[in-house]
Amino acid sequence: MNDTETVAMPVETPGLVDFPREKLTKKAITADHPTWCPGCGDFAVLASYYKVLEKRQVDHEKIVTLAGIGCSSRFPYFVNGYGAHFIHGRGVPLASGVSLSRPDLKVFLFGGDGDGFSIGGNHLDHGARKNINLTYVIMDNFVYGLTKKQTSPTSPIGFKSKTDPQGAVDQPVIAMKKLVASGATFIARTHAAQVNHMIQMIERAMDHQGFSVIECLSECVEFYPGAFDPANPRKGGSFELIQEKKWDGTAEDEMRHDVTDELAAYKLAMLPFPGVFGVFYQSDRPTKNALEKRWVDQSREKIGQASDLDILQKTFDRMK
């Protein structure tokens, strides 16, 4: 097998026998009452997440909801399931560890633009290039919401905040450009005011084997109201969808977007705000989970399928 082939991963949970299941309902997945400001875009993202889990009837014990720190990162409190609200910017390493050690779980990570592109920017790049199997939703509101209005890495030039009272002067990170360059193998963009589209994107992301990441424009009504009106038809904007190739041989298909074309994805990412929405890029490069498993399996075969305990004991014996 060469490294470009996709490696199938087992999905059984070790030691778990089949048992009759009750239908997974929204009530069963809902935990605490969300504490965001009334009108915050994050409510719709959470509702879409509930909807996807319910629609897809994900095994309840396999749902893992992880996050960094920020308003958007409060997700794990509101989901009844395994999860952790972790350190600011460190969600990707945490989620990577969970995914690599328990490939049978459905690992979801949520966070903000500050969490993902500023303090966690480096982690995002490495999680993406390693193609760790997880789904990461970045709720981009162009501001630090939780800490009450500082300039974020995605704030546009001129944005007035507590850290830039005269208006931001630094070139912002363009989320989709960064994501395409990162090596993530599923990259999509959506808007919290477009719930059906958001649900579709989350479903496609969770079905993808590898590092799937979604930029979701989610308005901070408290500290950056109206930021995404240009992408909201109900506020006079336009929500332009990417037309994906259907490979049907028609003339119009020539004009459609090939999601496997990285350069085409980068060109879409360069469109001026509000840009376009949908799947920018997708590739079936093998995951680190699968490559690591192959290496572990081969090593185990070499040592006669010894148990984890035997291997540990032998390692200790060698150290004596």
Ligand X SMILES: Cc1ncc(C[n+]2csc(CCOP(=O)(O)OP(=O)(O)O)c2C)c(N)n1
Residues that bind Mg ion (CB under 5 A): 112-113, 141, 145
Interface with ligand X in residues 215-234 (CB under 6 A): 220
**Residue 76 touching ligand X (CB under 6 A):** no
Cα 216 to Cα 15, 40, 138, 140, 277, distances in angstroms = 37, 13, 6, 6, 10
What H or E segment, with its residue span, contains residue 188? Answer: strand 186-191
**Residue 141 touching ligand X (CB under 6 A):** yes
Q: At what angle do helices 91-101 and 288-302 cross, to 10 degrees?
A: 40
Closest CA to 173 of 110, 127, 112: 112
**Residue 151 touching ligand X (CB under 6 A):** no
Q: For residues 134 and 265, which CB has a smaller minimum distance to ligand X in the complex?
A: 134
Which of the listed partners (Mg ion, ligand X, ligand SF4, none) does 103 bind, with a CB threshold of 5 to 8 Å by partner kind? none
What residues are paired with 84 via a beta bridge? 66
Interacting stretch for ligand X, rule CB under 6 A, among 63-71, 157-165, 226-234, 264-272? 63-71
- Shortest distance, CB of residue 251 to Mg ion, whole angstroms? 42
Burial (Cβ within 10 Å: 0-12, 13-18, ≥19) of residue 30: middle
Which of the listed partners (Mg ion, ligand X, ligand SF4, none) does 221 bind, with a CB threshold of 5 to 8 Å by partner kind? ligand SF4
Interface with ligand X in residues 259-318 (CB under 6 A): none
Q: For residues 46 and 105, which CB has a smaller minimum distance to ligand SF4 in the complex?
A: 46
Amino acid at 282: Q
Q: Using CA atoms, how far apart are residues 201 and 213, in angstroms rounded to an integer?
A: 10
Q: Which of 108, 144, 211, 239 binds ligand X (CB under 6 A)?
A: 144
- Shortest distance, CB of residue 95 to Mg ion, whole angstroms? 19
Q: Using CA atoms, how far apart are residues 219 and 22, in angstroms rounded to an integer?
A: 36
Which of the listed partners (ligand SF4, Mg ion, ligand X, none) does 36 bind, with a CB threshold of 5 to 8 Å by partner kind? ligand SF4
Three-class DSSP category at 201: helix
**Residue 145 touching ligand X (CB under 6 A):** yes
Q: Which of 42, 113, 140, 215 binds ligand SF4 (CB under 6 A)?
A: 42
Site size for ligand SF4 (CB under 6 A): 12
**Residue 227 touching ligand SF4 (CB under 6 A):** no
Pairing of strands 63-67, 106-112: parallel
Which of the listed partners (ligand X, ligand SF4, Mg ion, none) does 69 bind, with a CB threshold of 5 to 8 Å by partner kind? ligand X
Q: Is 99 left (phi over 0), alpha (psi -120 to 50) or beta?
A: alpha
Q: Is 236 left (phi over 0), alpha (psi -120 to 50) or beta?
A: left
- Shortest distance, CB of residue 294 to ligand SF4, whole angstroms? 42
Point out which residues bind ligand SF4 (CB under 6 A): 36-37, 40, 42, 71, 141, 145-146, 220-223
